[in-house]
Amino acid sequence: MTQQIPIGPEARAEEHDGGDGLREVAPDIAYRRLAMVNAVFVGEMSAGDRGWVLVDAGVMGTRGLIEAAAAARFGPGARPSAIVLTHGHFDHVGALEELVAAWDVPVYAHPLEMPFLDGSSAYPPGDPSVGGGLMASLAGLYPTKPVDVSGRLRPLPEDGSVPEMEGWRWIHTPGHAPGHVSLWREEDRALIVGDAFVTTAPESAYATAVQAPEIHGPPRYFTVDWAASRDSVVRLAALRPALVVTGHGRAMAGEAMLAGLDALARDFDAVAVPAEGRYVEHPARAEDGSVYAEP
């Protein structure tokens, strides 16, 4: 089986150089690639100190890159008003503890992700048996231990609003992680999707480096509930986004992107779910809504 939904280079979003590796895809949305993952900066260049939001916090060792990108876009020393997390996997929270300490900023996440962000629970282990390339084969070595930002951690509001991000709403998109969320702005149909689906093959080191525009399901080596993941992709495809910024790969836009997303939603079991894997037949569901049990 393969995850690839080829859609051609025309689906790549129009990007402008924002300095220090930033790619601006809308007047108030830019993202920075940090090794294999993206961090997203939401706010116009004039936002200044405390006038913008960081979505996700990269891999370990990227604090300096994130701060440099923030300075290039918003001015020297500019701090966000909040950090919003799509989920708490190691490649999305690598610099989180350092940034929270330096910026004195609140962190917002879905309640089901909180055990992985307050030091109380580890994620299930990664699954190298899903295949697909070097990145997947190393999955058993990826960190699953929680970070601890409990002093600044806040739940996303129950009404679906996103603090400090006017006009945006959060959507619960579980499957890759129990409290995974995507961020949606109806006004311009912009979607920040985390790892609910991605636009490169995260299992392959070559694809991660090249980042040809392709629609893929979530990273297979860390996805622990494939039925929930399928439902999340179907829900996101139904929004008919105009722009998608994913956790892995380039931002995409337009009709070709929509066609690829529709194909992923329609054929999810055939193109996204691995032929084998420890969580394919036995999802690692949260027994009490907070802590995973081994399948």
98-123 confidence digits (pLDDT tens) = 999 999 999 999 999 999 999 998 99
286: nearest Cα among 177, 145, 180: 177
- 9 — pLDDT class (breaks 50, 70, 90): low
State how far the Cα of 2 lies from the Cα of 267, in Å rounded to an integer. 11
| CB neighbourhood size of 42 (10 A) | 26
pLDDT of residue 2 exceeding 50: no
pLDDT, tens digit, for every residue of 200-255? 876 555 445 545 668 999 999 899 999 999 999 999 999 999 999 999 999 999 99
Query: What is the band of 294 on the pLDDT scale with cuts at 50, 70, 90?
Result: very low
How many domains, the chain? 1
For position 92, which CATH number holds?
Answer: 3.60.15.10
- Taking the C-alpha atoms of residue 279 and residue 293, their distance in angstroms, rounded to an integer, is 12
Residue 285 inside a domain? The answer is: no
Residue 293 pLDDT class (50, 70, 90 cuts): very low
Residue 44 CA to residue 34 CA, distance in Å, equals 21
Q: Does 278 reside within a domain?
A: no
Give me the DSSP letters along 119-179. TS-PPPPP-GGG-SSHHHHTGGGS--PPPB-TTTEEEPPTTSB-TT-TTEEEEE--SSSTT
Q: Which domain holds residue 239?
A: 5-271
Identify whether 85 is part of a domain. Answer: yes
Q: What tokens does 67 get?
A: 């701060």
Phi-psi map region of 231: left, alpha, beta (phi>0 left; psi -120 to 50 alpha):
alpha
Specify if 89 maps to a domain.
yes
> Average pLDDT for residues 19-41, to the nearest whole number?
94
C-alpha radius of gyration, the chain, whole number: 17
Residue 231 lies inside a defined structural domain of this protein:
yes
Q: Identify whether 125 is part of a domain.
A: yes
